[in-house]
Every structure is written in structure tokens, then in C-alpha cells.
Amino acid sequence: MSWLSDNKKISIVLLDDHPIIRSSLQMVITDEKDFVLSGCFGLSNELMRYLRTDRPDVLILDYILGDEELDGLSLIRQILNHYPAMKILLSSSVESLAVIRTAYNIGIRGYVSKRATMEEYFHAIRQVASGQIYRPENIKHELLAMPVKAPSAPMNKGEEGVEGEAAESREDVFRNVQLLTPRESEILRCFLDGMTILQISAKIKRSRKTISGHKQSGMRKLGIKSDIELFKYRDDLFN
């Protein structure tokens, strides 16, 4: 993919695994006189190679890429670990407030839904490029009001025993939710809703072995060792 350089314009790079999204942005962005599309990539390794030598003003990042790719949150962390000043605008069909808020906590500068209008999309790009934090009007209040997950009854400092260990474990579980891939989260939600591995397999059209593997992987990330322990968090793990 070729890229351009024009310091008088907002330099934009897009990472999205859908060719039609990349082509659409290339077409519509030509009408915006203050934008220049410096790169369009379908794979994260292509993007990372580009970033070794060039930095866009705004990186537009899709949350869900191909099966072989990192999940969105892990990719955001990787990019910001290498390039802390990178201005990332998350553009995705994922509309989970918990996921979006976690992405803001990690360091994205804005989120825009793929359902947004072009006017909203371009406004988000300009806001992020100018150094501001962009939050969509329709979810701004919820994002700002949404509390960080924490134990409902934290132990007093210095308090020991089984209850103290449980509280620490509970806090770790909620913190580790952000490590789950979208597929792991979906499967654990289905399981907590009472579905069997066979039923989940039929629902999302994956083999039972694959479903079981995602379930076990998700539980390991959460630090949960058994189904009984998992169900202790049923009411508020993904709320």
C-alpha cells in the first residue's frame, strides 16, 4: 500500500480487515480538504511495519480483526506501549459500553460506531487530531458515569483471612475481564446464561472442541479454576 505525506493536512492511517471499508474511506476522504489518507492496512503486522518509520496524526483502528489477530484491547496496548503518543480513534461495530470504556482507560482518544454518519466520523477525526478526547453524544453520559468494577464490600486495610483473599480475587477477576477476546466473552456469557457447550456450538457455528477451548482460555485469563467459581460472578461479571 502506498502512502502520502502532507504536513498541512491531518494524516490518517486506517487498520480494518474489511476491504470495502478501506475502499470506502479512500473514496470519501478525498472530498475533505484537510485530510490525507497516509495508509490503509488489513493486517496489524502491516501497520506495525509502517509505524516503525511513519506516524499519522490519527490512527483509525477496527476493534475486531481476523481470527489470527490480537483482540482489540491487546492490540491497542501493544501500539501504545511502542508509541505512547499515538492518537487512536476506535471505529467498530462493537457497542459494549464496558469494552469501549476499557479502551478509553487504556488510552484511545476516541470511539466512533460504524453506524455513525460521515459527518460524525469526520468530526471525531478532527477532534482527536486536535488533541481532544472524543466521546459520541449518544453514549457520553454513560461512559463518564459507568463505574470501574470493584468488590462490592472491600476489606479494611490490614484485614486478613479467607474474606480478604476472596475480595482480592474478586477484584482481579473484574480487572481481567478486559483481557478477554470478544469470542471468549460471548462464550462465557452464553455459558453463564445456562447454555451447554453443544448449544453454544450450534448457536455460533463452531465445533464443541473450539467452544470448550475458548471457554477454558477465558477462564484462565480471569483466574477462575472451576465452573462453580465462575457462576459466583454470574450476576455482574459482564454487566
Domains within the chain, CATH numbers bracketed: 10-145 (3.40.50.2300), 162-231 (1.10.10.10)
Q: What local confidence, expressed as pLDDT, does residue 94 receive?
A: 72
Distances (CA, A) of 75 to 54, 80, 115: 18, 9, 22
C-alpha grid cell for residue 61?
483502528
- Could you give the dihedral angle defined by the CA atoms of residues 165, 171, 177 and 179, in that order, rounded to the nearest 10 degrees? -80
* CB-based contacts of 189, cutoff 8 Å, min separation 6: 238
- Taking alpha carbons only, the member of 58, 53, 64 closest to residue 16 is 64
Q: What local confidence, expressed as pLDDT, does residue 32 receive?
A: 92
| 88-92 and 58-61 beta bridge pairing | parallel
State pTM to two decimals: 0.62
Phi and psi, residue 41, nearest 5°: -135, 150
Q: What local confidence, expressed as pLDDT, does residue 204 receive?
A: 87
- Taking alpha carbons only, the member of 146, 164, 165 closest to residue 155 is 164
CA 162 to mean position of chain CA atoms: 34
C-alpha grid cell for residue 130?
486536535
**pLDDT tens digits, the chain, 239 residues: what are they?**
434 444 579 999 999 988 999 999 889 988 899 999 999 999 999 999 999 999 999 999 998 787 677 778 889 989 999 999 999 999 988 777 777 888 898 899 999 998 899 999 999 999 999 999 999 998 888 877 654 433 333 334 333 333 344 434 677 777 778 788 889 988 998 888 778 888 898 888 889 889 988 998 888 888 888 887 887 777 667 76
What number of other Cβ atoms are within 10 A of residue 7's Cβ?
A: 7
Q: What local confidence, expressed as pLDDT, does residue 7 receive?
A: 54
Q: What local confidence, expressed as pLDDT, does residue 159 receive?
A: 38
Could you give the CA distance from residue 186 to residue 191 in angstroms, rounded to a whole number? 9
| 35-41 and 10-15 beta bridge pairing | parallel
| CB of 39 closer than 8 Å to CB of 14 | yes
> Measured between alpha carbons, how far apart are the two ends of the chain, in Å?
41
Q: What local confidence, expressed as pLDDT, does residue 82 receive?
A: 95
Helix (H/G/I), strand (E/B), else coil: 162: helix
Q: What local confidence, expressed as pLDDT, does residue 164 receive?
A: 40
Q: What local confidence, expressed as pLDDT, does residue 239 receive?
A: 60
